Amino acid sequence: MSENMAKDMHKNMYADMYEMTVGIECHVQLATKTKLFSAVDNDARGKEPNACVSPVDYALPGMLPMLNSQAVVLAVRMGEALGAKINPRSHFDRKHYYYPDLPKGYQTTQFYAPIIGAGKVVLPNGHSVRVEHAHLEEDAGKLTHFGDYSLVDLNRAGTPLIEIVSQPDIHSAEDARLYAEELWRLATYAGVSFGDLYHGNMRFDVNISVAEKGAAKLGTRVEVKNLNSFRSVERAASFEFERQAGLLAAGRGAEIRQETRGWSDATGKTTTQRSKEEAQDYRYMPDPDVPPLNLSAEFIAGILAEMPKLPAAYRAAFAGAGIAAETVEIILGHQILAVRLLEVLELDAKLAVKVANLFTGTLLAEENAGLDLSVASGERLAELAQMNEGGELSSTATKQVLVELYDTKNSEKSAKILAKEMNLLQENDDEALEKIILGVLDDPAAASAVADVRAGEMKAVGFLIGLIMKNSGGKANPARARELLLKKLG
């Protein structure tokens, strides 16, 4: 038995015997103009280290926090996206620890009274995950280590975050990934975050314990910190499940320690970072420098009135139009496409199905990566789909025009004008088509195929239509050409 086969066997056995219980803490960077407590640019991408730092972020003596109201607005939106209660009264607390990337010696967060209460996230597969609460807090800076020294970059220090804390409702690595993806969709659809995972806009801490199926007590909890991709969330959960189940199966359950572990994408493994015994006492204290946050019902209602549509609304609409669930999920990965598709749907549900397939089959194909997905309006897309529907454009030509529709230099042109310019409109003029058919029938190269068809060998029809298409420069409507050809060969 090979090593891999042995591994697979164990895997299956573990899956039968054990169950994982996962809770996820997700840090979402907010798309605010300025930092949570200072009027400094919150977008440090491409900037020199320490270019976005004010005396407040630097924690000079006598500096006081000024709460960014835009962050509060985005928190209310996030709460709504999580189907959660917005707490009318919340306040900020100080979480104390020493580290060079934490200038004040404490992080300002919401420990005792968070702004967002309990909520629920429904995954595309129907499973749901309860949200325990979510709170506003500030990010720390960044350390870069060199040989015998380290450098501090405070550009990120003070960036507003929302930390979303789930209940331990997740029981598979796949659901862990689906939950992370759904949070990403919710945060980006609500306009709360840019959702740029590469730049750390969302980070996940996965808490995972493993116990025998049906056991009354959960296993020892291990936290895998700072995962920055959906795939790593799934892989880390999967790795930890196997690691912990392996130890349990070997009777070495005591070796599972309550600890913080780090994940390496390169090795595909988690490793010990800090054990519970070394855990710090954060000495939480209400922050006397930030007055409690009191949100009136009118203030909250005003924000919710401007709330963008959430994935669930799109899912319901698209399913109603008969678009396949799988297709819908792919499209939901790009909010702007969901917006455009809904525009199409509001014009004509049947066309929406066509456009949805164009999105997943062509627009999102690898060779078209790099297109600005916001260029084509719903109206232009609907027109394109209508031309295909009406036989004016072949499927191939439709795809070609679609790509041109997304070229910014064509943003003023309709699908029809583009198709004309590209000389792709199908030949539906019977007279012209008949001329081409007669030409093919006279072509010596077609003689044997013509004879076959006459003898009832219908396979040869395809060959003849191919010739007709070729001679028409691809503009012939193949269905009509077939009709006319068969009539001629009677």
Partner 1 sequence: MSSVIKVASEKVSAVELVAAALEKAKKFAEYNVFTSLNEKAALAKAAEIDKKIARGEKAGRLAGVPYALKDNFSSREGKTTASAKMLENYRAPITATAVKKLEDEGAIMIGRTNLDAFAHGGSTENSYFGATANAHDKTRVAGGSSGGSATAVALDIVPFALGTDTGGSIRQPASFNGVYGMKPTFGAVSRYGVVAMASSTDTIGVLAQTAEDTQMLMGLLAGKDEKDTTTLDDFLAAAKSEKLKIGVISDFMGEGVDDEVAKLTKDYIEKLKKAGHQVSEVKMPILKYALAVYYVVVPAEVASNLSRYDGIRYGFRAKDAKTLGEIYSKSRDEGLMPENKRRILIGNFVLSSGFFDAYYLKAQKVRTLIIKAYNEMFAKYDVLVCPVAPTPAFKIGENTSDALKMYLGDIMTVPPSLAGLPALSVPAGKTASGLPIGVQLIGARRSDAILMGLAAEIEGLK
Which of 9/112 has CB closer to partner 1?
Answer: 112
Which of 59/307 has CB closer to partner 1?
Answer: 59
Q: How far apart are CA 212 and CA 10, in angstroms?
A: 15
Do the Cβ atoms of 473 and 422 come closer than 8 Å?
A: no
Interaction site with partner 1 (CB under 8 A): 55, 58-67, 94, 96, 98, 100, 103-106, 152, 281, 283-285, 287-291
Which of 140/317 has CB closer to partner 1?
Answer: 140
Q: How far apart are CA 339 and CA 345, in angstroms?
A: 10
The minimum distance between CB 62 and partner 1, in angstroms, equals 4
Task: Annotate 124-137 with b (16+ C-beta within 10 A) or e (fewer).
Answer: beebebbbbbbbbb
Which of 100/390 has CB closer to partner 1?
Answer: 100
Mind giving me the DSSP string for 290-335? S--EE--HHHHHHHHHTPPPPHHHHHHHHHHTT--HHHHHHHHTSH
The minimum distance between CB 151 and partner 1, in angstroms, equals 11
Which of 284/299 has CB closer to partner 1?
Answer: 284
The minimum distance between CB 159 and partner 1, in angstroms, equals 18
The minimum distance between CB 203 and partner 1, in angstroms, equals 24
Mind giving me the DSSP string for 140-205? --EEEE-SS-EEEE-TTTT-EEEEEEE-S-B-SHHHHHHHHHHHHHHHHHTTS----GGGTSEEEE
The minimum distance between CB 80 and partner 1, in angstroms, equals 26
Q: How far apart are CA 255 and CA 128, in angstroms?
A: 32
The minimum distance between CB 146 and partner 1, in angstroms, equals 14
The minimum distance between CB 285 and partner 1, in angstroms, equals 5
Do the Cβ atoms of 373 and 363 come closer than 8 Å?
A: yes
Which of 48/306 has CB closer to partner 1?
Answer: 48
Beta-carbon contacts of 368 under 8 Å, excluding residues fewer than 6 positions away, are: 362, 403, 406
Cα 280 vs. chain centroid, distance in angstroms? 34
Which of 60/215 has CB closer to partner 1?
Answer: 60
Q: How far apart are CA 204 and CA 180, in angstroms?
A: 8
Which of 282/463 has CB closer to partner 1?
Answer: 282
The minimum distance between CB 22 and partner 1, in angstroms, equals 26
Do the Cβ atoms of 190 and 77 come closer than 8 Å?
A: yes
Which of 96/120 has CB closer to partner 1?
Answer: 96
Q: How far apart are CA 428 and CA 476, in angstroms?
A: 7
Q: How far apart are CA 441 and CA 467, in angstroms?
A: 10
**In Å, how far are 119, 186, 221, 311, 475 from 81, measured between CA atoms?**
9, 6, 28, 9, 48
Q: How far apart are CA 86 and CA 116, in angstroms?
A: 5
Do the Cβ atoms of 269 and 239 come closer than 8 Å?
A: yes
The minimum distance between CB 393 and partner 1, in angstroms, equals 60
- Please calculate the CA angle 263-129-201 and round it to the nearest 5 degrees: 45
The minimum distance between CB 147 and partner 1, in angstroms, equals 14
Which of 88/100 has CB closer to partner 1?
Answer: 100
Which of 50/362 has CB closer to partner 1?
Answer: 50
Do the Cβ atoms of 111 and 284 come closer than 8 Å?
A: yes
Do the Cβ atoms of 246 and 20 come closer than 8 Å?
A: no
Which of 61/147 has CB closer to partner 1?
Answer: 61
The minimum distance between CB 106 and partner 1, in angstroms, equals 6
The minimum distance between CB 280 and partner 1, in angstroms, equals 10
